[in-house]
A and B are shown apart, each in its own frame.
Chain A
Amino acid sequence: MRPDDERYFAQIEERLDEAWDVAEAAKEQGRDPEPEIEIPVARDMADRVENILGIDGVAERVRDLEGEMSREEAALELVTDFVDGNVGDYDSREGKIEGAVRTAVALLTEGVVAAPIEGIDRVELLENDDGTEFVNVYYAGPIRSAGGTAQALSVLVADYARALLGVDEYKPRDIEVERYAEEIALYDKDTGLQYTPKDKESKFIAKHIPVMLDGEATSDEEVSGFRDLERVDTNSARGGMCLVAAEGIALKAPKIQRYTRNLDEVDWPWLQDLIDGTIGKDGAGDGDGAADDDADEGGEGEGDADDAGSDGEGDSSSADEPAGSVRADPSQKFLRDLIAGRPVFTHPSEAGGFRLRYGRARNHGFATGGVHPATMHIVDDFLAAGTQIKTERPGKAHGVVPVDSIEGPTVRLANGEVRRIDDPEEAKEIRNGIEKVLDLGEYLVNYGEFIENNHPLAPASYAPEWWVQEFEAAGADVAALRDDPHVDLEHPGVDEALSWAREHDCPLHPEYTYLWHDVSVDAFEALADAVAAGDVVEGVLAVERTDPVQDALESLLVEHAATPDALRIPTWRPLARSLGVDDGLRKEWDEADLSDAAREYADGENAIRAVNEVAPFEVRERAPTRIGNRMGRPEKSESRDLSPAVHTLFPINEAGGPQRDVAEAANVMDDTGHRGRHDLEVSDRVCPNCGEHTYAALCPDCETHTEPHYECNDCGTVCEPDEAGRVECPNCEWEVTAATYQEVDVNDAYRSALETVGERESAFEILKGVQGLTSRNKTPEPIEKGVLRAKNGVTSFKDGTVRYDMTDLPVTAVKPEELDVTADHFRELGYETDVDGEPLRHDDQVVELRVQDIVLSDGAAEHMLKTADFVDDLLEQFYGLDRFYEVNERDDLVGELVFGMAPHTSAATVGRVVGFTSAAVGYAHPYFHAAKRRNCDGDEDCVMLLMDGLLNFSKEFLPDQRGGRMDAPLVMSSRIDPSEIDDEAHNVDIVREYPVELYEASRELADPEEVEDLIQIGEDTLGTDDEYHGFDHTHDTTDIAMGPDLSAYKTLGDMMEKMDAQLELARKLRAVDETDVAERVIEYHFLPDIIGNLRAFSRQETRCLDCGEKYRRMPLTGECRECGGRVNLTVHEGSVSKYVDTAIEVAERFGCRPYTKQRLKVLDQSLESIFEDDTNKQSGIADFM
């Protein structure tokens, strides 16, 4: 680590320590459920593992082992420690196994995700039929987040521990084996598995696996055979078990085998059969045979697509030249499940769509795609920074980032003018006059994306950065030209470009290279003749306006203006030259000069060869790859509120009304004339000093911190929690909680809370509580905190923290200016130089961002300001300490620390605010996102203000249910170790320039690995001094917040309005087939909706409107059997038929297939048949149609 980096982390940790001390002082007062901060700091992965598990000594051992072996080996090595009792304080054998298994999963998931705590419920020792003991591991749904390898390894670890402890293997009964097979198939049908083992395979695994896989029911679907087994608690599918068996053992068999070989104690010879894939093939029954066929068919389907493509390739590379250029195969996949209101921008590989350009902008990489901000406006603002798009390649989805150093869109205006737009302001001005979007401009994808997705390189657009390397190779003095103020290598003048092309053996500059591959040879010849027949008036070429010529110019993206009978081309000389027409408009060739090879190239649909035969210089294919894409989900930047919103985690039953208004609950009068007394289920706590019982964390009498009081409901025994925090009654052998029903004077609690913090009721509009608490001990939060939240306009999440959600986007270099801060701010933060090593003086210098620095969206900043005010009020008015943040304006937030935290994880990462953006996203270093286990393809997660987390988070508030500890900051990482983050981020390339070899390789659809050595990626610097810096980029962008702030999807009104806009856009874009869009909207949105609701209607449940009781079938009594109330349907005609008319109209308007129209008609008639009385039909309904 460089000293600079040391200073950076020291700076962060210093601020963290400051906050820590304050928070500690506050917590020590005992006003919270625990008298200490509940988010421990982890400096590294080992710390996180220890903290997340809560097992002492793990971290030390992990650090010892880490240097010597891989993480997987370390996980197995730790088993011996657990068994010998060196690590963990477990007496029982099952406890030891459980500890070892959890630790293994935690290690393999780097102590971030919640799988080790939420995904493994417990380990038990049960008895085999022969009287021996076996191990039963009880998995739960969240094990999913661990991934297949960790799941599989957890089984191996359990088995290894079992062997070391001398416990016998699991000997399944036949019915249990059958049950596994049925259950896994059921789960796959119901929920879906990445890999579905055949029945034979499932049975094979069940038969041989040496520990029993068990788990809790995760769905309502029940198995039909093999029910009520003695050793299986449930008849429903056990999701965790199914995942471990299918996606773990069956799918990752080769990986586990590697580790079993190193262990003498365990022997899983049967894995070999799984790996060989012989299970379910030989001797399979008919049933399996059918499944085989099915799988094969699926395979064939995909194979076909590939074959078709590779045929094309084969032809082109074979000796018969005139086949065509190399292209990546179009793929339809991204169009699947098209959603109404989310438009298609480019049909698969369609001309006029996004053109692939290679490069990484500074706000780019890590599953993002660069789009020109002008394009974002041209597509009716449907794209904004952070909008997710589903793409054809290289991955499945991207987050959109604005990049204006690539080419913008080309449009035809209503007056016939064709113009390229490279300025977002211009785009906004003219967008109402756009008749057709001929081209969407370039789409920037970084090389690392291809590595990450292991996708063959697709042919690159011809771009200045490629041309300049060829120019240099051709002998030009590029360095001199770069220094020449009169020369712009990226956008040269016509004369320069033509002379360079002539004088050097170098292709024509991309600026003047048109999209010849998109016009046919015939169109090319027609255009050449038209140009030769044209006139030059005042330097502008006028050619006769005919449809073929106009079409050709539009396909080529040649800018021109149109009069009723002429097309006027201002920049015409490069075009004429490419057409083999000289400056005097003399055509220098005739038909006979074109070779057959050129004529027949790509069946005459690609004129690139013809151009090269007649032009005096080489012309490259300008945009051989178009990337199909459509909108995925919109970007997000909004505060996370529970529904209904909650200010305080204090229960008020039904008394607060639907608003959960605490004041209202405090005012309700009971039979005895008392106000605000309610029977609530809250925790029973006892004062260690005076023995007083209370629900509050602070004894009302002596102000001592109280402890939960665990009293068994049945026998009254007072119990103590064990080392794992579980409380079990020694007599009754069940779990005991501190929650009891007691009469609580809400009125008094509310009034005294107001008094404590010195606020009046008028300080806030409403204070919302909760109906009931979901935590185990039902410990309520002091109402004071809620009062101050309400006062400052923030609400609480289930764990007591205030959160703000944002879509993740990466950025590796920023300008203080665009973040609405100054160079001074940056210097204070420790930034000294810009990316070129120049001292940082000006606000517009580009500075490389540090790994834990983040940029807040405007909304997040505002929310954090409110949170800071809340925290300060809390410190001052509740804890009686000094204010900590003292913010007045948002600049004051710069340098403050926040927590970043993603769903399904249990570890927060500390980040530092460096600026703000008007884009509705959270920009941060890709490593920061990766540390939270996110990439940037439309994922979103939250930020919390550091002090808020430290003060207000408590595990006591977490729901006592599966997944309750997910999304809770059980531990924080104070610094990011690049080796301990999601390795996807290591594939971000970090160079300033791509080598020409990349572009050349892309023309052959080469494997990205072939040029890996030439392009540095994050992985290359891991473990070196450079691991924290040196993230260079190939493309700049003026501002990381360009383009619309919000996608039109969010600003448009209802679904119909969105869909109209979507279809309107489809009409406008050349690369989009609007009929196909309409078909898909109907096929994927309207039809499933109508059909699904119709099906739901005819087999629906009913519900009592008065008491909410549900009935599977309508009661014969007609009314509610529970309360005599009104029962009604849950699916009504309205929800079934709401889209029918629209769908029919859309099908008609966009000329959908008769098949689609007929389906709609049949459905419409079905609806009529069900919802209309034949004997009482409205007369003449047909007259209105």
Chain B
Amino acid sequence: MPLESNARIAKALAERGYNAEREAITLLAGAADPAAAVAAAVDHAPDEALRITADHVREATAETERSAASPDANGQSPVETEGSAARGAGETDAGSAAATTDGTAVADDRSDASTTETTTTETSTTETTTAETTTAEASSADRSRDPDLRELEVGNDMTGRSTGTGEYGDFVTTFRDRYERLSKILRGRVNHRPAEAIADMPGGSDAAMIGLVNDVRSTKSGHWLVELEDTTGTFPALVMKDKGLADVVDEILMDECIAVEGTLADDAGILFADSLHFPDVPRTHNPGGADRHVQAALISDVHVGSDEFMADAWHAFTDWLHTPEADPVEYLLLAGDMVEGVGVYPDQDEELEIVDIYEQYEVFAEHLKEVPADTEIVMIPGNHDAVRLAEPQPGFNDEIRSIMDVHDARIVSNPATVSVEGVEVLMYHGVSLDEVIAELPEEKASYDEPHKAMYQLLKKRHVAPQFGGHTRVAPEERDYLVMEDVPDVFHTGHVHKLGWGKYHNVLAVNSGCWQAQTDFQKSVNIDPDAGYAPILDLDTLDMTVRKFS
């Protein structure tokens, strides 16, 4: 049996202009002569068909086999499908959450699979015809590759809804919206008074204020001065160094929304802080889950077009997606940087394999075609993509969408929330992580543990709080960067490091990349985690990371 990979079949079909059902591909891969089978299937498919279905294949194979008059090949494919499906399920169950399967293991799996297939075929030739119907039923019932069972909804997508025109008022609206929605979360916890009212309160009274951080300074004597702003004005709070709040002050970023509780000074000019509160994720957060065994692959930073794009790792990943083991992977979430882009940094053209931005997307689309056709795909743009850099970034324009129309992928804005069978996934590319890592002490956020930086964002309930620094803001009628609802999964990329962990029951995943170390990364000593695909169980929120490089 020729070792024809599923991905290659998918590609061969794509070259001829067809998408294909997963089952069809499996059938084709199992054919005695896959190349001929592909040709036959294509011939056989009706002219108007865009998608090769299992039926087409079966009919084509049947025809071929009739003419070839080979009796025992007839029931080969369905049986094989059954075998691999069972195996795949077992494998995933056995796989421990959050364990990295290394490359060799994956390769072994594949050869195992083929041997298994062969034996299965030999032993089960007899039950051919009956098996055919049962398998069909089984695949829809057990393996859930039934699109009807899927639930996918996108929220907070601002694509096509960018109403800002870059006026001063737009900025004010954005920040006011941020304040309104985040202060609501804090209101229950402190007895908030507006800045204006606090200024009128007598010295010595207890007071609390919710506001956006306007300024944080250390004083000469080692205390901190935190200035908060609400819609009535600003008020300073002094955090004494011996209050045990040093740790908290370290975590404060400009323009995030926090609450301060304390006592007014005698002259009522300043608030001595006793406690500080972040909007935060409640510890009681109870994440949702799918009511069946189904998985999502969370990836990002493919960087097609870069000299360093790891095509082999990508092929290994998509090959694996065609294996039975990957059968439950019905969703693919891509958190930005599909391509390397043009003009992202000076003299970038010298490090581009594909210098044309449209060609980059075309090639990316080709690579995406290797993913099983019936996978649901959601993509958001990143800072290398051909959209505005300022956040929120709308999903691509029509020209680029039309290039990436494979698999009916959903292209939404950065950030956006995706509700997948009851699991709320917040997708954000992650540009603000650079800033969080730069601003906060190393133990709280570092490139080696990107998920810890993500915890900070969760705590602030905002994906990019700080204005005026690294992160760019495009003013809109609302602040799309606020996390009004607590997500179950927070998915980012951008920093090219793999890291995941749970914060108050929210799974934070930074998904690595598909680009090997660049010269720039070398110069700043960043060693990227390339070629990993975190696979999330949507029913249990357990995660397995697979390595493909």
Contacts and interface: CB of A to CB of B under 8 A. Distances in A.
B218 A228 contact: yes
B165 A286 contact: no
Nearest to B438: A224
Nearest to B473: A1098
B229 A1115 contact: yes
A1117 B523 CA distance: 44
A228 B222 CA distance: 8
B214 interface: yes
A225 B477 CA distance: 38
Interface residues of B, number: 58
B355 A1154 contact: yes
A228 B172 contact: no
Contacts of A1112: 214-215, 254, 467-468
Contact of B172 (A1099, A1118, A1172, A1173): A1118
Instruction: Bin the interface of chain A by size.
Output: 35 or more
B232 interface: yes
Interface string B163-182: 11111110110011001000
B402 to A, nearest CB: 15
A1087 B343 contact: yes
Interface string A1111-1122: 011111110010
13 contacts: A228-B218, A1113-B467, A1114-B171, A1115-B229, A1129-B167, A1153-B355, A1158-B342, A1162-B341, A1162-B357, A1165-B387, A1166-B390, A1167-B388, A1171-B165
B255 A1113 contact: yes
Nearest to A1133: B166
Given A290-B523, A1113-B467, A1173-B163, A1165 B255 contact: no
Contacts of A10: none
A1128 interface: yes
A1095 B472 contact: yes
Contact of B468 (A1094, A1100, A1171): A1100
B356 A1116 contact: no
Nearest to B222: A228
Contacts of A1170: 162, 164, 166, 388, 390, 474
A289 B524 CA distance: 10
B172 A1114 contact: yes
A293 B523 contact: yes
Given A1100-B468, A1171-B166, 8 more contacts: A290-B522, A1094-B390, A1112-B214, A1113-B254, A1117-B232, A1129-B167, A1155-B356, A1169-B388
A1169 B164 CA distance: 9
Interface of B: 160-169, 171-172, 175-176, 179, 212, 214-215, 218, 220, 222, 229-234, 254-255, 341-343, 349, 355-358, 386-390, 394, 397, 438-439, 467-469, 471-474, 519, 522-525
A1169 B474 CA distance: 9
Interface string A280-321: 000000110110011001000000000000000000000000
Interface string A960-983: 000000000000000000000000
Contacts of A1087: 343
Contacts, number: 138
Contacts of A227: 218
A1094 B387 CA distance: 13
Contact of A1158 (B165, B231, B357, B467): B357
Given A1127-B168, A1170-B164, A1175-B163, A1159 B342 contact: yes
Contacts of B519: 297
Closest 9 CB pairs of A and B: A1098-B472, A1159-B343, A1166-B388, A290-B525, A1098-B390, A1169-B388, A1114-B171, A1171-B166, A294-B523
Nearest to A287: B525
Contact of A1173 (B164, B232, B438): B164
A384 to B, nearest CB: 33
Interface of A: 224, 227-228, 286-287, 289-290, 293-294, 297, 1087, 1094-1095, 1097-1102, 1112-1118, 1121, 1127-1129, 1132-1133, 1153-1155, 1158-1159, 1162-1163, 1165-1167, 1169-1176
Nearest to A1098: B472
Max count, chain A CB within 10 A of own CB: residue among B168, B220, B254, B358: B168
Contacts of B524: 290
A1094 B164 CA distance: 15
A227 B179 CA distance: 31
Contact of A1169 (B212, B220, B233, B394): B394
A1114 B231 contact: no
A1113 B175 contact: yes
Nearest to B468: A1099
Contacts of A1154: 355-356
Contact of A286 (B179, B356, B471, B525): B525
Contacts of B166: 1097, 1132-1133, 1170-1171
Contacts of B469: 1099
Nearest to B393: A1169
Contacts of A1159: 342-343
Contacts of A287: 525
A1176 B473 CA distance: 21
Contacts of A1173: 162-165
A82 to B, nearest CB: 35
A1158 B160 contact: no
Contacts of A1129: 167-168, 171
Given A1116-B231, A1159-B343, A1162-B343, A1172 B212 contact: no
Nearest to B179: A1116
Nearest to B524: A290
Contacts of B388: 1165-1167, 1169-1170
Contacts of B233: 1117, 1121
A1164 to B, nearest CB: 11
Contacts of B473: 1098-1099
A290 B233 CA distance: 47
A1166 B254 CA distance: 26
A1166 B467 contact: no
A1116 B160 contact: no
A42 B279 CA distance: 71
Contacts of B163: 1173-1176
Contacts of B234: 1121
User: In the complex, which of the residues A286, A1113, A1155, A1171 has the most CB atoms of chain B within 10 Å of its own CB atom?
Assistant: A1113
A1167 B165 CA distance: 10
A1129 B163 CA distance: 18
